[in-house]
Amino acid sequence: MRLLVHNLLMCNKCDKNNYPLKIEVNKSVIMELEFKKDAILKLIPKLDFEVLSNTVRELGFKQFPKQIPPNVEQDLAFLKDLHRVLFETHIMDGQLTCPNPSCKRNYPITNGIPNMILTEDEQ
């Protein structure tokens, strides 16, 4: 799982206070991917940047900016950091937890793929 999908995903079970899911990482790996400036620029409006920034900082990358810098199209350093965080950092093992205190449902991540399937009772 990469942080792009984490930025979009909500808890499947509850309706309120179900975003963002808390990440617990057991194993992560960096896999390089070709940097495409246009693709990343197109994606920026889709991101909840505050959530992304908080998540990235919690996972250890303290230097990541809290806000999108002005003149982002020219800020290549920022775009490359964003690319690394969104596309190159793979969480291979861990879990996602719903932030809703009355839910707290755990979604395990195995082989880099989060399991969002609910049991029969939960539906």
- Residues interacting with another protein, by CB under 8 A? 1-2, 4-5, 7-12, 18-19, 31, 33, 36, 38-39, 42-43, 45-46, 48, 87, 111-118, 120, 123
Question: Count of CB atoms within 10 A of residue 88's CB?
Answer: 16
User: Cβ(103)–Cβ(70) under 8 Å?
Assistant: no
Burial environment of residue 52 by CB neighbours within 10 A (0 to 12, 13 to 18, 19 or more) = buried
Q: How near is the Cβ of 85 to another protein at its closest, in Å? A: 14
Q: Which is nearer to another protein, 15 or 62 (CB)?
A: 15
Q: Which is nearer to another protein, 63 or 119 (CB)?
A: 119
